[in-house]
A and B are shown apart, each in its own frame.
Chain A
Amino acid sequence: MATDENGKFGRYGGQYVPEALMAAVEELDDAYRRYVLENEDGFVDEFRERLRDFGGRPTPLQHADRLSERSGFDVYLKREDLLHGGAHKLNNALGQCLLAKYMGKERIVAETGAGQHGTATAMAAAHLGMECEVYMGERDINRQRPNVFRMRLNGATVNPVTTGRGTLKEAINETMREWATTVEDTHYVIGSVVGPHPFPAMVRDFQSVIGEEARRQTQEKIGGLPDSVVACAGGGSNTMGAFDAFVEDESVSLVAVEAGGSSLDVDEEAGVAPNSASLATGQEGVLHGARTKLLQDTAGQILESHSVSSGLDYAGVGPELANLVDEGRVTPVSVDDDAALEGFHRLSQLEGIIPALESAHAIAYLDRADPDDLGDSVVVNLSGRGDKDLESVVEETEKRDIGNAPEMGVFE
Chain B
Amino acid sequence: MSRIDEVFEDTEAAFVPYLAVGDPDVESSVAYIEALARGGADVIELGLPFSEPIAEGPTIQHAVVRSLDAGMTPEKFFEVVERLDVDVPLVCMTYYNLVYQYGRREAQRASERASGDAASSEEPGPEPFVRRAAEAGIDGFVIPDLPVEESGPLRAACDEHGCDLVFIAAPTTRGDRLTAAVEETSGYLYVQARLGVTSARDDVSDQTTESLDRLAEYDIPKAVGFGISSGEIAREVVAAGADGVIVGSALVDIVAEGHESGESTTEVAERLEAKARELKEGALAGATQRAPRPERP
Contacts and interface: CB of A to CB of B under 8 A. Distances in A.
A287 interface: yes
Given A177-B57, A180-B197, A285-B97, A18 B177 contact: no
A182 interface: yes
Interface string B51-79: 11111110001000100100001100000
A16 B145 contact: yes
Nearest to B101: A300
B288 to A, nearest CB: 31
A19 B104 contact: no
Interface stretch (B155-163, B165-173, B217-225): B165-173
A296 B173 CA distance: 32
Contacts of B172: 19-24, 183-184
B145 A17 contact: yes
A403 to B, nearest CB: 38
B62 to A, nearest CB: 9
A298 B101 contact: yes
Given A16-B146, A177-B57, A301-B51, A22 B173 contact: yes
A287 B53 CA distance: 10
A157 interface: no
Contact of A288 (B52, B55, B56): B52
Contacts of B52: 169, 173, 287-288, 302
Contact of B171 (A20, A164, A301): A20
A6 interface: yes
B68 A19 contact: no
Contacts of B147: 15-19, 22
B201 interface: no
A389 B54 CA distance: 30
Interface in A255-300: 271, 283-289, 294, 296, 298-300
A16 B146 CA distance: 5
Interface in A168-187: 169, 173, 176-177, 180-184
Contact of A18 (B74, B104, B144, B181): B144
Given A285-B101, A299-B74, A301-B50, A14 B150 contact: yes
B195 interface: yes
Contacts of B260: none
Contacts of B195: 20, 180-184
Contacts of A20: 55, 168, 170-173, 192, 195-196
Nearest to B192: A20
Interface string B106-145: 0000000000000000010000000000000000000011
Nearest to B145: A16
A67 to B, nearest CB: 39
A17 B151 CA distance: 12
B98 interface: yes
A127 B110 CA distance: 56
Contact of A283 (B50, B51, B104, B171): B104
Given A6-B149, A177-B57, A287-B52, A19 B170 contact: yes
Contact of B196 (A22, A177, A289): A177
Nearest to B170: A20
A184 B104 CA distance: 37
Contacts of B214: none
A18 B100 contact: no
B273 to A, nearest CB: 31
A76 B90 CA distance: 61
B97 A296 contact: yes
A184 B123 CA distance: 36
Contact of A19 (B73, B95, B173, B197): B173
A300 B196 contact: no
Interface centre among B54, B68, B149 (most CB of A within 10 A): B54
Contact of A180 (B61, B123, B196): B196
A163 interface: yes
A16 B172 CA distance: 16
A169 to B, nearest CB: 7
Contacts of B53: 173
Contacts of B104: 283-285
Interface centre among B96, B101, B102 (most CB of A within 10 A): B101
Nearest to A25: B147
Given A22-B173, A23-B174, A180 B145 contact: no
Interface in A381-407: none
A302 B101 CA distance: 11
Given A183-B195, A285-B101, A15 B96 contact: no
Contacts of B192: 19-20
Nearest to A304: B51
Interface centre among B51, B95, B167, B197 (most CB of A within 10 A): B51
A286 B197 contact: no
Interface string B34-56: 00000000000000001111111
A15 B97 contact: no
B81 to A, nearest CB: 16
A104 to B, nearest CB: 16
B231 to A, nearest CB: 26
A37 to B, nearest CB: 20
A285 B100 contact: yes
Given A299-B102, A302-B52, 15 more contacts: A15-B147, A16-B96, A17-B145, A20-B55, A22-B172, A23-B170, A169-B52, A177-B56, A177-B196, A271-B51, A284-B104, A286-B100, A286-B145, A301-B50, A301-B98
Top 7 A-B pairs ranked by shortest CB distance?
Answer: A300-B101, A181-B196, A20-B170, A23-B172, A301-B51, A19-B168, A300-B98
25 contacts: A16-B146, A18-B55, A19-B144, A19-B169, A19-B192, A20-B55, A22-B170, A22-B172, A22-B173, A23-B172, A23-B173, A24-B172, A26-B177, A173-B53, A177-B56, A177-B197, A180-B196, A181-B196, A182-B195, A183-B195, A283-B101, A286-B95, A286-B100, A294-B97, A301-B98
